[in-house]
Amino acid sequence: MTEAGNMESVPALSPGWMVPERYLLYLDILGFAEMAQSPRRVLDLYQIIDGLNVHRHPDFRALVFSDTLIVYNAVELQGGHDKQVCVMYLAEFAQDLLRRLIGRDYYFRAILTKGGFLHHRFDNLDAFFGQALIDSYRNEKDLTGCGLFLDERLLAENRIFPTRRHCERFHYVFLTPSIQYLSDYGDSGFPFSGEPLDSTDMTLQVYAELTFLADVYRKSMEHPTPNVRAKFQATWSFYQLQFPLVCNVLRESGFDFNSVADADWRAAKSHFDNELESDYYRFHATRPGDH
């Protein structure tokens, strides 16, 4: 990747000038209208987004407005390898948010795509527009499910994350490597020994991703609003098709994590709950207007 120049300078609108092509992560927070009835919930969410890894990466820019997060490459891509790295990072940014939201009852639907996009910082405002933004806005509304969807055009540049076709244009991206690990390791049967998990810090990550999967399944069965329930049903269906053994064992056991591995889930749960509690007190220590 090479510097794209000063993104804050006014573009030279010479004859034939076109909006530059960018790789774009377009992420929409689900249920935001209802969430807005509880300002504290919204502020908690913004604080989580404010801490994402993307803000510390010099090659990407992030924009937030209302219920939407946009991340794009702020440097020019110089070939196939750069494009693969860019797709990897954008998917990892979505994965970073997913992990931070587990257990907090926030969910998102995102698109990873490419197209014309310009972000210009004027003296008093940030302006951004382009066909990639318009297409993402329209396409995101037509997708059913939670998580990340990859544009068909970028499929060959995705070398890291497993995917499953959702429709002609988009593939669902699995941002949960621990579920993949369980699926691979459990080929010889469940439950397997938890020693490989407990001997590292993997038990904590596996616990979090199993918690996410359990939340998705319960909402797919119990959420009172039909269209919301349908989103979780679609998400569970993706996982059921991709990881049938893991999903079947979990569902049949009532999501007893011991059904997949004999690991120290009690310690993992304690650590996970402590993290949620510490984040709660940290988020609520200072609020806009508190002083």
Read off the pLDDT band of 154 (50, 70, 90).
Answer: very high
What average pLDDT does the structure give for the chain?
91
Least confident range from 23-32, 86-95, 196-205: namely 196-205
Question: What pLDDT does residue 187 have?
Answer: 80
Q: Structural domain boundaries of the chain? A: 2-8+16-175, 179-283
Question: What pLDDT does residue 160 have?
Answer: 96
Tell me which fold the domain 2-8+16-175 belongs to: Alpha-Beta Plaits (3.30.70)
What length does the chain have?
Answer: 291
Tell me how far apart the alpha carbons of residues 87 and 157 are, in angstroms, rounded to a whole number: 7
Segment 262-280 mean pLDDT: 90
Read off the pLDDT band of 15 (50, 70, 90).
Answer: low
Least confident range from 3-7, 47-51, 90-94, 223-227: namely 3-7
**268 has pLDDT over 50:** yes
Read off the pLDDT band of 8 (50, 70, 90).
Answer: very low
* Percent of the chain's residues with pLDDT above 70: 90
Segment 61-77 mean pLDDT: 95
Question: What pLDDT does residue 161 have?
Answer: 98
Whether omega before 244 lies within 30 degrees of 0, making that bond cis, reads no
pLDDT tens for 76-99 read 999 999 999 999 999 999 999 999
Reference 213, options 160, 189, 262, 177; nearest CA is 177
Side-chain-side CA neighbours of 85 within 13 Å: the count stands at 13
**1 has pLDDT over 80:** no
Question: What pLDDT does residue 185 have?
Answer: 86
Task: Label residues 56-81 b or e (16+ Cβ within 10 Å = b).
Answer: ebebbbbeeeebbbbbbbbbebeeee
Question: What pLDDT does residue 6 have?
Answer: 42
**18 has pLDDT over 80:** no
Q: Give DSSP secondary structure letters for 236-267.
A: HHHHHHH-HHHHHHHHHTTS-GGGTEE--HHH
Q: What is the pTM of this model?
A: 0.90
Q: Which residues contact 125 (CB under 8 A, 6 or more apart)?
A: none
Reference 132, options 147, 115, 152, 112; nearest CA is 115
Read off the pLDDT band of 285 (50, 70, 90).
Answer: low
